[in-house]
Structure 1
Amino acid sequence: MEGVGDAVEILPVEEAVALDGVTELEEGSRDSTDELRHYQSSDFASLRDEIHKEITSRDVLLRKLEESVTRLSEDIAPLKDYVTAKMQQEAHSASSQSSGSPEGGANQDGDQETEEERNNRAQNRCVDVMMSLTEIRENNEEKTKIVRGFYEKIYKASPLTSLMLTFLERNRGVKVLIDCDSSNISNLVKRLVNLDGEKRNGTEFLTFADIFECRVYLGGVSGVINVNIRGHYKKENFDPEVSLAQSLAQIVMYLIFKNRGCPYACDDEMYEKLYEKIVLETSQKKDSVTMDGCVHHALSMKTPLAREVSLISVVPGMLVKYGSKEGMSKLLEQVPLLTFFFIHHVIPKMRS
């Protein structure tokens, strides 16, 4: 993700995916996630099945995609309202239960402590592995603590982001290089070729995922950057952990799908066309709908490949940037189809 001149942002969702003891979830978030998955999965699955049946003809496939995406888009607004209301309802219910009888509260607290201990062990194990895969420039105790904090924030941000780190923990196919003394990566790599195929200096990047080498470079100093939104530059805070989450997401896409970082397999025409349609629709909306800087950055890339690889990483980026609930809310509002694609297509592959 480039950082000087173009000023790149790199960024995050929420949603619910059960992680078999790997992730800590608030009850309200878990229940609302289940509801979201229940209410949306049928539409998304229907879309996928319809496309599969019609795949014999490219023209028919594209027409079906357009019709299905349009129909799905129209369903987003009421779904978002429902999820928001459900979250508030579950939060209130959880609060009422915790203030109930002393005896019941004591038992519940004990159960929560045990669950918290299990979750902490899973988190610490995952972060320990990620630290073993990380090289910190001119390392010392303070820098180690800072970098560990990056991984902890990514892990805690959302079930989706903790699953992403857990995937990397098990796969161990990535190398992360971090410079805690700079906001760019020039001390880690002098020259590189970006996703658009352009040769650039390391000073122009806040972070960069070398997909084919499975290496991530990160400038670990936070600060303020200029983000180009609709031809105007807007100042936004730069958080290294957000950039790191997005770069790691690109590596995960490559490790799963083996397709240059795209979130679908080389021979999967159905999901390739679906994702292309989602990228196109998101690009068409960006000038009329208020979107986060990370979305604008992803869509500002010059080549279709660069836009596809960059846009999918917006989901974990915004979840880390805003947290689980707010991040998911913004994702559903700004890029709903991208969010559902991540949840219903990418997440199952990541879990398996």
Structure 2
Amino acid sequence: MADGKRKTFKRKSEPEDGARDSTDELRNYLSSKFASMRDDMHKEITSRDVLLRKLEESVTRLSEDIAPVKDYVTAEMEEEDDDASSQSSDSPEGGAPQDGDQETEEERNNRAQNRYVDVMMSLTEIRMNNEEKTQKVRGFYEKIYKASPFTSLMLKFLERNGGVKVLIDCDSNNISNLVGRLVNLDGAKHNGTAYLTFADIFECKVYSGGKAGVISVNERGQYVDERFDPEVSLAQSLAQIVMYLIFKNRGCPYACGDEMYEKLYEKIVLETSQKKDSVTMDGCVYHALSMKSSLAREVSLISVVPGMLVKYGSKEGMSKLLEQMPFLTFFFMQHVIPKMRN
């Protein structure tokens, strides 16, 4: 911050007379920062040069302000996880227990989870299926659901909106047995062997290999072998479908004609791309930014948020996201999540 001081927040365990609930305070704080950033751009939307300068100034201010709230965002994630589990288990949709039944919290949470996993399984076709493969794929969806309230929300969104089809080959780490040649968002044609997973956005189909493996990632000019898990790449592909269903804009996380959010997101992608040359980031980020076209980078990068939450879990994943890509994470929380909920 300009005066060199760091803002502090009180946790719920440290109540103060007359103070607001710390979760509400955090939400209001983050919302006001995002709203301020958005309003500044709205006033200058007619001038691209002025807009980009405003974005630069806003990003700098947000960079100074975001550091002291990282722990509190993580805490909010955990609290939202508890709230989401409670709400989904208490809702009539989850199947209320019969009178006289005593259901534990774990049983309620499991019932809510099973509902959405069952729906995803009904939308999934497994190549040369058997009981072992069915349980393996079910485990993928369970891990996605449990990773964070944000990733569970993706599955809930897909249940309500439908139309997606998932094809999985548990015998391979690529999709060559599921589909032949594909054209990616860069316009490049490849065989299925080139893809761990692929989201055919316009057909609302996801192709995914079901075996873990190792891929080579270009990190700051050096290729590094990195393990990948199929549920991570599956979560990213599902996220791309969700973006398409919400915004109807080729998988970009903003609506067609929404110049304000388009310019904001372009700036965030640019800032992240520049930062990757000086800061070590997750392999998911490097892969997304390795795409050649701006469209492919935009579509791929937003899916890194749920991907990293599944990869590392809610607390560690959010911590890494805020360390490596605070603005992208902020954009996802303040713009994408509300749209998904609505």
Is 1:302 the equivalent of 2:292? yes
Q: How has the CA–CA distance of structure 1 residues 131 and 43 changed in structure 2, closer, same or farther, with 3 Å as cutoff?
A: same
For 1:43, the equivalent position in structure 2 comes to: 33
Report the AA paired with residue 321 of structure 2. Answer: L
For 1:55, the equivalent position in structure 2 comes to: 45
Alignment deviations for residues 63-85 of structure 1 (CA, whole Å, 9 cap, x no partner): 2212111111122222225557x
CA distance in 2, matches of 1:183, 1:34: 43
Alignment deviations for residues 161-195 of structure 1 (CA, whole Å, 9 cap, x no partner): 00011000111121000000000000001110011
Task: Decide which moves more: 223-232 or 325-334.
Answer: 223-232
CA RMSD of aligned residues (A): 2.1
Is 1:175 the equivalent of 2:172? no
Alignment deviations for residues 291-336 of structure 1 (CA, whole Å, 9 cap, x no partner): 1000011011000000000000000000000000000000000000
CA distance in 2, matches of 1:349, 1:83: 19
In the TM superposition, residue 114 of structure 1 has moved relative to its aligned partner by 4.0
CA distance in 2, matches of 1:177, 1:35: 43
Q: How has the CA–CA distance of structure 1 residues 158 and 33 changed in structure 2, closer, same or farther, with 3 Å as cutoff?
A: farther
Q: How has the CA–CA distance of structure 1 residues 83 and 122 changed in structure 2, closer, same or farther, with 3 Å as cutoff?
A: closer
Q: How has the CA–CA distance of structure 1 residues 61 and 213 changed in structure 2, closer, same or farther, with 3 Å as cutoff?
A: same
CA distance in 2, matches of 1:263, 1:224: 29
CA distance in 1, matches of 2:254, 2:24: 25
CA distance in 2, matches of 1:132, 1:33: 36
For 2:306, the equivalent position in structure 1 comes to: 316
CA distance in 2, matches of 1:314, 1:35: 27
Task: Name structure 2 gaps, 5 residues minimum.
Answer: 1-12, 14-20, 80-101
Secondary structure in 1 matching 2:215? strand
Alignment deviations for residues 249-286 of structure 1 (CA, whole Å, 9 cap, x no partner): 00000000000000000110000000000000000000
Q: How has the CA–CA distance of structure 1 residues 126 and 81 changed in structure 2, closer, same or farther, with 3 Å as cutoff?
A: closer
Is 1:130 the equivalent of 2:153? no
Give yes or no for contact 1:245–1:320 (8 Å, CA) kept in 2: yes
Is 1:235 the equivalent of 2:232? no
Pick aligned residue for 2:199 from 209, 213, 222 = 209
Q: How has the CA–CA distance of structure 1 residues 225 and 35 changed in structure 2, closer, same or farther, with 3 Å as cutoff?
A: farther
For 2:257, the equivalent position in structure 1 comes to: 267
Q: How has the CA–CA distance of structure 1 residues 147 and 62 changed in structure 2, closer, same or farther, with 3 Å as cutoff?
A: same
Q: How has the CA–CA distance of structure 1 residues 291 and 245 changed in structure 2, closer, same or farther, with 3 Å as cutoff?
A: same
For 2:337, the equivalent position in structure 1 comes to: 347
CA distance in 2, matches of 1:32, 1:133: 40
CA distance in 2, matches of 1:280, 1:83: 24
Is 1:226 the equivalent of 2:234? no
CA distance in 1, matches of 2:25, 2:323: 17
Task: Decide which moves more: 151-160 or 188-197.
Answer: 188-197
In the TM superposition, residue 227 of structure 1 has moved relative to its aligned partner by 1.4
Secondary structure in 2 matching 1:236? strand
Is 1:75 the equivalent of 2:65? yes
Pick aligned residue for 2:244 from 246, 251, 254 = 254
Give yes or no for contact 1:32–1:83 (8 Å, CA) kept in 2: no
Give yes or no for contact 2:219–2:280 (8 Å, CA) kept in 1: no
Give yes or no for contact 1:211–1:250 (8 Å, CA) kept in 2: yes
For 1:276, the equivalent position in structure 2 comes to: 266
Secondary structure in 1 matching 2:217? strand
Give yes or no for contact 1:35–1:83 (8 Å, CA) kept in 2: no
CA distance in 2, matches of 1:117, 1:190: 43
Aligned residues: 300
For 1:186, the equivalent position in structure 2 comes to: 176
Q: Higher relative CO (CA 8 A, sep ≥ 6), structure 1 or 2?
A: 1
CA distance in 2, matches of 1:117, 1:52: 47
Give yes or no for contact 2:220–2:280 (8 Å, CA) kept in 1: no
Q: How has the CA–CA distance of structure 1 residues 285 and 39 changed in structure 2, closer, same or farther, with 3 Å as cutoff?
A: same
Secondary structure in 1 matching 2:202? coil
Task: Please give the TM-score of this superposition, normalised by the length of structure 1.
Answer: 0.81
CA distance in 2, matches of 1:270, 1:77: 25
Q: How has the CA–CA distance of structure 1 residues 149 and 82 changed in structure 2, closer, same or farther, with 3 Å as cutoff?
A: closer
In the TM superposition, residue 59 of structure 1 has moved relative to its aligned partner by 2.9
Task: Decide which moves more: 177-186 or 32-41.
Answer: 32-41
Report the AA paired with residue 338 of structure 2. Answer: P
For 2:276, the equivalent position in structure 1 comes to: 286
Secondary structure in 1 matching 2:255? coil
In the TM superposition, residue 56 of structure 1 has moved relative to its aligned partner by 3.1
In the TM superposition, residue 39 of structure 1 has moved relative to its aligned partner by 3.0
CA distance in 2, matches of 1:161, 1:305: 23
For 1:327, the equivalent position in structure 2 comes to: 317
For 1:14, the equivalent position in structure 2 comes to: none
Q: How has the CA–CA distance of structure 1 residues 271 and 138 changed in structure 2, closer, same or farther, with 3 Å as cutoff?
A: same
For 2:88, the equivalent position in structure 1 comes to: none
